[in-house]
Amino acid sequence: MIFPRPVPIACTWTIVAALAAAAGCAQAAGVTQTRINEYAGVLLRARRAIVEDTGLRRPDERIEAYVARISRPMPAESAGETARRLEAYVAAIERLHAPGALCTTMPALRDMSAANSARWRAAVHASAELDAEGRRLSALRRNAEGTARDVPMAKELTRALLLVKTAFEALRDVRP
């Protein structure tokens, strides 16, 4: 009887980790600082697209008031321009739903301190809620016509922006 050569243990764990990652199991794979920065970058780009790059936010304006104001037509803005602007805001949130864009499951951590784990839980929870919030925002935008959409649109967009802020701030302080 011929037995195959034994596989070294280090190689076996590499194979197991690769199979787990291929199966979508984030628990088996650790997270690197580079990947943390990528998660934060996606969130920052969404915030910039809605808040900073528009040039519409007034100094010291609270996010709730800002979103309520930009969810309505601007002075001298046509209905088509308003629709395109709102579509751009929704698209910024929808880009967060690309596969792997956000960390929605707790990764394997090297730093298992209570503070780091709490920050990761906050980031993961906010990122997971962003997925559901983005779907609601997309559905609202697709189904809404007329001015009745202003209040729900402002509420959902505000909630999405606050979740982006929460996830970003938590990721700012996490360690792998």
Average pLDDT over all residues of the chain: 81
Residue 25 lies in a domain: no
What is the C-alpha separation between 26 and 20, in angstroms, rounded?
8
* Each residue's pLDDT tens digit, 126-170: 999 998 888 888 888 777 654 445 568 888 899 999 999 999 999
Residue 12 lies in a domain: no
How many other β-carbons are positioned within 10 Å of the β-carbon of residue 29? 14
What is the C-alpha separation between 146 and 9, in angstroms, rounded?
64
- Is residue 136 within a helix (H) or strand (E), and if so which, with residue range? helix 114-143
> Domain limits at 109?
32-173
Residue 24 lies in a domain: no
What percent of the chain is predicted at pLDDT more than 90? 43
* Each residue's pLDDT tens digit, 86-113: 889 999 998 888 888 888 888 888 889 9
pLDDT at 144: 62
Measure the CA angle with vertex 136, ends 133 and 140; round to 5°. Answer: 140
Number of domains present in the structure of the chain: 1
What percent of the chain is predicted at pLDDT more than 70? 79
Residue indicated by tokens 């309505």: 72
Encoding tokens for residue 145?
Answer: 């016509």
Residue 18 lies in a domain: no
Residue indicated by tokens 């088996």: 28
